[in-house]
């Protein structure tokens, strides 16, 4: 196999839905593992219906998160089908990903305790809502709930007086999926040394806490509550979007040297020598005096002219682009991040990884519900599908 498929030969069973577990499965599948997605024979993964738009009867979440996988429709309440799944896991799988509600997998005999007892070499990744242990451990959870409960919404938006704002992507779900993949890869590597697998645990709430590590540290330092910063960042000034004549441009003068370059670019050299603004500490403390001056200069430019001026002076900057603009952007195209896939599939975003210059392959579209049920139970690794 090519070097960009390091997990070729591994088989992973994904008993999950929505975003978190499917994202773990997506990462492993794109790294070359055979990922068997177990779905309810009725509606399948909830994300199939999250639309419009729809492609091949599936919404954007499902199309994006489930390429390179095989779908097996298995009713866990059916004794025969459940036993077939157990045999598949115990005899063929290297790992299991599960994000069912707490206790459900155990109820159906596909939880970590029973499976690991029978196959200690198995790596079982459990992605929970509020985590294992504690008073909230049995409550369900979704991305916006965790952005709220984990404090992220309190620091996101324009001001504390405005309604709470959710980050526009499922950052908690996808983050938990990413941690699930990191944990599974670590456990599989350890298994090479010891021969033993084990239980890998992560959760949406723990991921929310991990993403807010800097604001949490600020709170532990008794720095006072972090307020929403709009497009800016607490503790760094100027580090935000500025309106121009035809859009918005983010300026990232993240240190004192860059601020001096910014002042020179905007023909405001006196700002760099002003004791109020000479250091980042001073700029943060005197933000209300500094930002209006910079805003006025930005409004004298278009995005293109201001960007070119800042580029010439070595000041980091970027226009605020729409998703459609990002898709067509020359840098996006040059990197090959949006992959076309096989004929008849919908292009999707690849993994942000390359091995020896090669991005991981897009070899099969997100599967139709139960498309591989029979094949999976007879041929879990799906060799004929990779031919």
The residues assigned a catalytic role are 173
H-assigned helices in 230-361: 256-265, 269-273, 280-285, 287-298, 303-312, 323-328, 330-335
**Which residue is listed with tokens 């760099």?**
272
- Classify strands 338-339 and 348-349 as parallel, antiparallel or unpaired: antiparallel
Residues forming a β-bridge with 243 = 248
The CA distance from 386 to 369, in Å, is: 19
H-assigned helices in 108-242: 112-118, 143-149, 171-194, 204-211, 213-220
The CA distance from 74 to 37, in Å, is: 10
φ, ψ dihedrals at 19, nearest 5°: -125, -50
Residues forming a β-bridge with 123 = 95, 198
The CA distance from 51 to 62, in Å, is: 10
**195 φψ region: left (φ > 0), alpha (ψ -120 to 50), beta (else):** left
The CA distance from 174 to 256, in Å, is: 35
The CA distance from 156 to 226, in Å, is: 10
Kindly tell me the burial class for residue 281, based on how many C-beta atoms sit within 10 Å of its own C-beta (0-12, 13-18, 19 or more). exposed
């Amino acid at each position: 196999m090519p070097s960009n498929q390091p997990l070729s030969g591994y088989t992973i069973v994904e008993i999950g839905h929505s975003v978190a577990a499917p994202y773990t499965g997506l990462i492993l599948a794109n790294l070359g593992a055979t990922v068997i997605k177990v779905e309810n024979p009725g509606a399948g993964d909830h994300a199939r219906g999250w639309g419009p738009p729809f492609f091949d009867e599936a919404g954007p979440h499902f199309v994006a998160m489930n390429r390179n996988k095989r779908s097996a429709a298995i009713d866990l309440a059916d004794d025969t089908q459940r036993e077939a799944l157990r045999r598949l896991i115990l005899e063929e799988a290297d790992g299991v990903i599960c994000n069912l509600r707490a206790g459900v997998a155990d109820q159906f005999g596909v939880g970590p305790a029973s499976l690991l007892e029978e196959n200690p070499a198995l790596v079982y990744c459990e992605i929970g809502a509020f985590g294992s242990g504690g008073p909230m451990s049995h409550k369900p959870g979704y991305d916006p709930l965790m952005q709220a409960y984990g404090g992220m919404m309190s620091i996101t938006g324009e001001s504390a007086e405005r309604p709470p704002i959710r980050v526009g992507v499922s950052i908690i779900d996808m983050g938990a999926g990413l941690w699930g993949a990191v944990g599974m890869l670590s456990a599989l590597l350890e298994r090479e040394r010891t021969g033993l697998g084990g239980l890998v645990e992560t959760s949406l709430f723990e991921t929310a806490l991990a993403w807010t590590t800097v604001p949490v540290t600020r709170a532990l330092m008794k720095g006072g509550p972090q307020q929403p910063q709009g497009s800016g960042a607490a503790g760094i000034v100027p580090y935000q979007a500025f309106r121009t004549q035809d859009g918005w441009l983010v300026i990232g003068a993240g240190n004192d040297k860059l601020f001096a370059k910014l002042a020179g670019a905007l023909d405001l050299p006196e700002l760099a020598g002003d004791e109020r603004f000479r250091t980042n500490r001073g700029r943060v403390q005197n933000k209300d005096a500094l930002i209006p001056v910079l805003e006025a200069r930005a409004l004298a430019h278009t995005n293109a002219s201001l960007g070119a001026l800042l580029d010439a002076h070595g000041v980091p900057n970027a226009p605020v682009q729409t998703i459609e603009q990002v898709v067509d952007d020359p840098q996006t195209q040059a990197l090959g991040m949006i992959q076309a896939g096989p004929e008849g599939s919908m292009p999707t975003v690849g993994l942000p990884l390359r091995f020896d210059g090669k991005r991981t392959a897009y070899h099969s579209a997100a599967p139709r519900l139960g498309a591989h049920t029979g094949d999976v139970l007879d041929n879990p690794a799906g060799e004929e599908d990779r031919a």
